[in-house]
Amino acid sequence: MAIVEIKVPDLEGSTDVGVVEVYVHIGDTVENETPLISLESDKAVMDVPSPLSGIIKEIKVSEGDNVNAGDVIALAEVIEKVTEEIKDVIEEAKPQEEPAHQAPENETASEGKYHATPSVRSLARELGVDLGNVKATGPKGRITREDVSSLVKNIMSGSSTGSVPAGPFTLPPIPTADFEAFGDIETEDLSRIKRISGPHLHRNWLGVPHVTQFDDADITDLEAFRKEMNAENARENGPKISPLIFIIKAVVQALKTYPDFNSSLAVDGTSLIRKKYYNIGIAVDTPGGLVVPVIKDADNKGVLELAEVLADLSFRAREGKLKSNEMKGGTFSISSLGGIGGTYFTPIVNAPEVAILGLSR
State pLDDT tens for residues 192-225.
778 878 888 888 888 899 999 999 999 999 999 9
Reported confidence tier of residue 20, pLDDT bands at 50, 70, 90:
confident
CATH topology of domain 209-359: Chloramphenicol Acetyltransferase (3.30.559)
Residue 171's pLDDT is what? 64
Asked whether the whole model's pTM tops 0.75, one would answer no
Q: How many CB atoms lie within 10 A of CB 103?
A: 10
pLDDT tens profile 290-342? 899 999 999 999 999 999 999 999 999 998 888 888 988 999 999 998 877 78
- Measured distance CA(26)–CA(42) in Å, rounded: 29
pLDDT for residue 167 is more than 80? no
CATH topology of domain 103-160: Dihydrolipoamide Transferase (4.10.320)
Domain boundaries in the chain? 3-92, 103-160, 209-359
Mean pLDDT of 127-142: 78
Name the nearest CA neighbour of 274 among 356, 357, 354.
Answer: 354
Q: Do domains 103-160 and 209-359 have the same CATH topology?
A: no
Residue 314's pLDDT is what? 94
Hey, what amino acid is at 233?
N
Q: Determine the Cα angle at 169 with ends 262 and 196, to 5°.
A: 55
pLDDT for residue 153 is more than 80? no
Residue 213's pLDDT is what? 94
33, 80 contact by CB (below 8 A): no
Reported confidence tier of residue 58, pLDDT bands at 50, 70, 90:
very high
pLDDT for residue 140 is more than 60? yes
Instruction: Write the class of the CATH domain 3-92.
Output: mainly beta
Reported confidence tier of residue 42, pLDDT bands at 50, 70, 90:
low
pLDDT for residue 355 is more than 70? yes
Q: What is the mean pLDDT of the chain?
A: 82
- Of 260 and 40, the one with more pLDDT: 260
pLDDT for residue 120 is more than 80? no
pLDDT tens profile 59-105? 999 988 889 888 999 999 887 544 444 444 444 444 444 444 443 44
- Of 145 and 87, the one with more pLDDT: 145
Within the chain, strands assigned E span: 3-7, 17-22, 29-30, 35-40, 45-49, 54-59, 66-67, 72-78, 90-92, 263-265, 272-274, 280-282, 284-286, 289-291, 294-295, 332-336, 356-359
For residue 34, the Cα-to-chain-centroid distance in whole angstroms is 24
